């Protein structure tokens, strides 16, 4: 800055140590005190004779310097040198809000507020070290204030709605649950996302009211589906850190589901990992109370903050939601993948289900499925969508999978239509193919394929008019599950009856195959009569479904 004869400008730094509370918890208050003292000594040195410094409370400090003495980058560097480096094996990160002081008539308290609001603007953004209080921030603060004045009216006018983001089971790609995410349909500003108003509402204490409003809206939605006897999946709702301070929280939730006649199984609560570092005991009590009432509890944003695997050990949650940052990291580094893998394994051992959030690509999806992650949420499958669109998804998935199970209505008296139905036998072993062909050729035309690729080609050729596929699971190159998966993702093959052939003692393969969309299974050793009747019934069922469609 040019020195134009005016009094020199000063810089005011307000400083906060990220997650200082965790340092206290992990290393004890003596270590915390030691760090604070060292911090203060460092600030004193940096302030020198022409600056000043002080401590507000806890880990909040202020430092004021002539602008000419040091740039913000210098100050950050000096603080890191003098205050942060300790002989201990951990590193902590201070963050700063900075305000440039030109007008000496502004009260000190106001200047501190300015710098604090700059600091608040980077809270939670762990890679930002400092932020300025400037015209842009001032405008944002004014806009935010204006927005907050409209919240109450917004609730009254039902401007807050929730979107639903589907969650899919990794093994079957079936829609199994959803998360309700709030949106503000503002009459003047259009659709506003929660990132732009939830943090503000957290500050002015309005979040619990909004949360309750959304929970009630979700109950009303579920009650509507229930009344129409439509398919429902559990919906998880977000619970803010502030909610757990309400001593009547669980009572009010229980009254809500009673009022709407909803089974608690259909509402799940997502508590955020950050609540753990703030008040672990209160969080634990809330989780226990909710589960006692039959609600499932999810640990949201797992892996986003500073908490460790201890959270898993300490908090009896049903489902772990892996933060999208962790999902993003797994592909960037082997280390990221390793950590994710061990989190999922540990969760399994503790009988906690896992949902990976923010899954955007096919390769992320496949990787996660491969390491045993149970469910997937993310743009790869779907963004959060309006309720009507979500209902559409639920209803059409129902139709695709067939109304009820084909197996529900086996008719053992079904006549076998001779001669013109084609059955494809897929097995890499020619002996097995021959055995099956021999058993069935009096009643069907048998076609054969010795691998999955060839099988799919034959199935896709309309001329072949395949009525049913008998599919071996264990094959080299492309196994039976892969064939099933590809077939079920192909609109032309989605309805084709596929019966898997299994031989093992356990039913694991059968269950897997059914999850992958197999119509039914046949177990070795085959009984030719039962086999023929089963095949005939399945074909008959499938023809009926085709006619209905
Ligand atoms: P969250 O609970 O972690 O919700 C997931 C966020 O990730 C959602 O953002 C969602 O749209 C986004 N997301 C989902 N899949 C992907 C993906 O594949 N890629 C990327 N980049 N993002 C993805 P949204 O809806 O903007 O919500 C942001 C946050 O606002 C939520 O984070 C949650 O903390 C909060 N929130 C939303 N609704 C409520 C509510 O009713 N009450 C409270 N207290 N907080 C809420
Ligand atoms: Ca959430
Ligand atoms: Ca989350």
Confidence of residue 5 (pLDDT cuts 50, 70, 90): low
Looking up tokens 């709407």 gives 260
- pTM here is 0.65
Same domain (yes/no): 370, 500:
no
How far, in Å, from the CA of 270 to the mean position of ligand 2?
6
Answer yes or no: is the C-beta of 301 below 6 A from any ligand 1 atom.
Answer: yes
pLDDT at 416 > cutoff 80: no
Q: Distance between CA 211 and CA 238 in Å, rounded?
A: 7
355 part of a folded domain: yes
Confidence of residue 408 (pLDDT cuts 50, 70, 90): very low
Answer yes or no: is the C-beta of 207 below 6 A from any ligand 1 atom.
Answer: yes
Number of domains forming the structure of the chain = 3
Whole-number mean pLDDT of the chain?
88
208 part of a folded domain: yes
Residue bearing the CA closest to ligand 1, atom 4: 181
Answer yes or no: is the C-beta of 325 below 6 A from any ligand 1 atom.
Answer: no
> How confident is the model at residue 510, as a pLDDT?
86
3 part of a folded domain: no
Q: Distance between CA 115 and CA 100 in Å, rounded?
A: 9
Contact 240, 282 (CB under 8 A): no
Mean pLDDT of 173-180: 95
> How confident is the model at residue 491, as a pLDDT?
92
> How confident is the model at residue 409, as a pLDDT?
31
Q: Distance between CA 452 and CA 482 in Å, rounded?
A: 8
> How confident is the model at residue 500, as a pLDDT?
93
Same domain (yes/no): 510, 454:
yes
Same domain (yes/no): 384, 456:
no
Same domain (yes/no): 380, 475:
no
CATH number of the domain within which 531 lies: 3.40.50.2300
CATH number of the domain within which 41 lies: 3.30.70.270
> How confident is the model at residue 27, as a pLDDT?
84
Same domain (yes/no): 341, 225:
yes
Chain center to CA of 482? 26
Q: What is the pLDDT of residues 156-170, one digit of tens each?
A: 999 999 999 999 999
Confidence of residue 415 (pLDDT cuts 50, 70, 90): very low
Confidence of residue 404 (pLDDT cuts 50, 70, 90): very low
Continuous segment of H or E residues that includes residue 100? strand 94-101
> How confident is the model at residue 398, as a pLDDT?
60
How far, in Å, from the CA of 454 to the mean position of ligand 2?
44
Same domain (yes/no): 211, 345:
yes
Q: What is the pLDDT of residues 63-115, one digit of tens each?
A: 999 999 989 999 989 988 887 766 665 677 899 999 999 988 999 999 999 99
Same domain (yes/no): 418, 389:
no
358 part of a folded domain: yes
482 part of a folded domain: yes
Q: State which of 19-28, 146-155, 193-202, 284-293 shows the largest mean pLDDT.
A: 284-293
Which tops the pLDDT comparison, 519 or 502? 519
Domain-ending residue, one of 373, 402, 431: 402
How far, in Å, from the CA of 271 to the mean position of ligand 2?
8
Same domain (yes/no): 372, 500:
no
Q: What is the pLDDT of residues 129-147, one digit of tens each?
A: 999 999 999 998 888 888 8
How far, in Å, from the CA of 181 to the mean position of ligand 1?
6
pLDDT at 505 > cutoff 50: yes
> How confident is the model at residue 542, as a pLDDT?
87
Confidence of residue 414 (pLDDT cuts 50, 70, 90): very low
Domain-ending residue, one of 387, 402, 417: 402
Continuous segment of H or E residues that includes residue 298? strand 296-302
CATH number of the domain within which 259 lies: 3.20.20.450
Mutate to test the pocket of ligand 1, among 194, 209, 379 (most ligand atoms within 8 A of CB): 194
Q: What is the pLDDT of residues 460-500, one digit of tens each?
A: 999 889 999 999 988 877 889 999 999 999 999 999 999 99
Q: What is the pLDDT of residues 214-249, one digit of tens each?
A: 999 999 999 999 999 999 999 999 999 999 999 999
Same domain (yes/no): 390, 501:
no
pLDDT at 411 > cutoff 70: no
Instruction: Name the closest ligand to CA 124.
Output: 1
4 part of a folded domain: no
**Cα Rg of the chain (Å, integer):** 31
193 part of a folded domain: yes
Answer yes or no: is the C-beta of 216 below 6 A from any ligand 1 atom.
Answer: no
Answer yes or no: is the C-beta of 198 below 6 A from any ligand 1 atom.
Answer: yes
Chain center to CA of 298? 10
Answer yes or no: is the C-beta of 519 below 6 A from any ligand 1 atom.
Answer: no
Q: What angle do CA 384, 389, 394 make, to 5 degrees?
A: 95
| Domain range enclosing 256 | 142-402
Mutate to test the pocket of ligand 1, among 124, 181, 303 (most ligand atoms within 8 A of CB): 181
Continuous segment of H or E residues that includes residue 296? strand 296-302
Domain-ending residue, one of 402, 419, 448: 402
Answer yes or no: is the C-beta of 323 below 6 A from any ligand 1 atom.
Answer: no
Over pLDDT 70: what percentage of the chain?
Answer: 92
Same domain (yes/no): 50, 166:
no
Answer yes or no: is the C-beta of 360 below 6 A from any ligand 1 atom.
Answer: yes
Answer yes or no: is the C-beta of 384 below 6 A from any ligand 1 atom.
Answer: yes
Answer yes or no: is the C-beta of 193 below 6 A from any ligand 1 atom.
Answer: yes
Long-range interactions of 195-200: CB distance < 8 A, separation 24+: 196/147, 197/147, 197/148, 197/151, 198/240, 200/144, 200/147, 200/148
387 part of a folded domain: yes
> How confident is the model at residue 432, as a pLDDT?
83
Same domain (yes/no): 103, 200:
no
Same domain (yes/no): 105, 210:
no
């Amino acid at each position: 800055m040019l020195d134009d004869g005016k009094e020199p400008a000063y810089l005011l730094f307000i400083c906060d140590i990220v997650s200082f509370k965790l340092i206290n918890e992990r290393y004890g208050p003596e270590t915390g005190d030691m760090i604070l003292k060292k911090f203060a000594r460092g600030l004193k040195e940096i302030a020198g004779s022409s600056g000043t410094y002080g401590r507000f409370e806890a880990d909040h400090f202020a430092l004021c310097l002539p602008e000419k003495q040091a740039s913000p980058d210098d100050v950050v560097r000096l603080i890191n040198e003098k205050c942060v480096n300790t002989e201990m094996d951990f590193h902590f990160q201070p963050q700063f809000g900075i305000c440039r002081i030109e007008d000496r008539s502004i009260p000190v308290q106001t200047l501190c507020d300015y710098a604090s609001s700059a600091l608040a603007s980077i809270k939670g953004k762990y890679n930002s070290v400092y932020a300025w209080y400037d015209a842009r921030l001032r405008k944002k603060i004014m806009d935010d204030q204006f927005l907050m004045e409209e919240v109450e009216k917004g609730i009254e006018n039902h401007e807050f709605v929730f979107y639903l983001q589907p969650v899919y089971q990794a093994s079957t790609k079936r829609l199994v649950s959803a998360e309700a995410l709030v949106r503000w349909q503002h009459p003047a500003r259009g659709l506003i996302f929660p990132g732009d108003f939830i943090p503000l509402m957290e500050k002015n204490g309005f979040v619990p009211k909004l949360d309750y409003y959304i929970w009630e809206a979700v109950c009303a939605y579920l009650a509507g589906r229930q009344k129409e006897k439509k398919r429902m999946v559990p919906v998880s709702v977000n619970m803010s850190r502030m909610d757990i301070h309400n001593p009547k929280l669980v009572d009010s939730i229980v009254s809500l589901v009673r009022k709407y006649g909803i089974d608690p199984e259909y509402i799940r609560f997502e508590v955020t990992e950050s609540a753990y570092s703030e008040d672990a005991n209160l969080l634990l009590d809330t989780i226990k109370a909710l589960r006692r009432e039959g609600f499932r509890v999810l640990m949201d944003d797992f892996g986003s903050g500073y908490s460790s695997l201890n959270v898993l050990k300490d908090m009896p949650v049903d489902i772990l939601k892996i933060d999208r940052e962790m999902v993003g990291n797994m592909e960037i580094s082997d280390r990221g993948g390793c950590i994710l893998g061990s989190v999922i394994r540990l969760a399994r051992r503790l009988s906690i289900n896992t949902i990976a959030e923010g899954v955007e690509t096919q390769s992320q999806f496949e990787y996660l499925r491969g390491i045993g992650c149970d469910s997937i949420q993310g743009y790869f499958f779907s963004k959060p969508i309006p309720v009507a669109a979500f209902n559409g998804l639920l209803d059409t998935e129902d139709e695709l999978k067939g109304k009820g199970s084909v197996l529900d209505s086996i008719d053992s008296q079904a006549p076998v239509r001779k001669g013109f139905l084609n059955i494809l036998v897929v097995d890499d072993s020619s002996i097995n193919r021959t055995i099956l062909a021999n058993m069935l050729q009096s009643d069907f035309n048998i076609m054969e394929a010795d691998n999955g690729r060839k099988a799919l080609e034959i199935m896709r050729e309309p001329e072949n008019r395949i009525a049913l596929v008998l599919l071996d699971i264990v094959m080299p190159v492309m196994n039976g599950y892969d064939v099933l998966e590809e077939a079920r993702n192909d609109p032309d093959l989605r309805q084709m009856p596929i019966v898997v052939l299994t031989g093992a003692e356990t039913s694991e393969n059968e269950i897997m195959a059914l999850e992958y969309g197999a119509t039914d299974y046949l177990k070795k050793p085959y009984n030719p009569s039962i086999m023929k009747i089963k095949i005939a019934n399945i074909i008959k069922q499938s023809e009926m479904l085709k006619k209905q469609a």
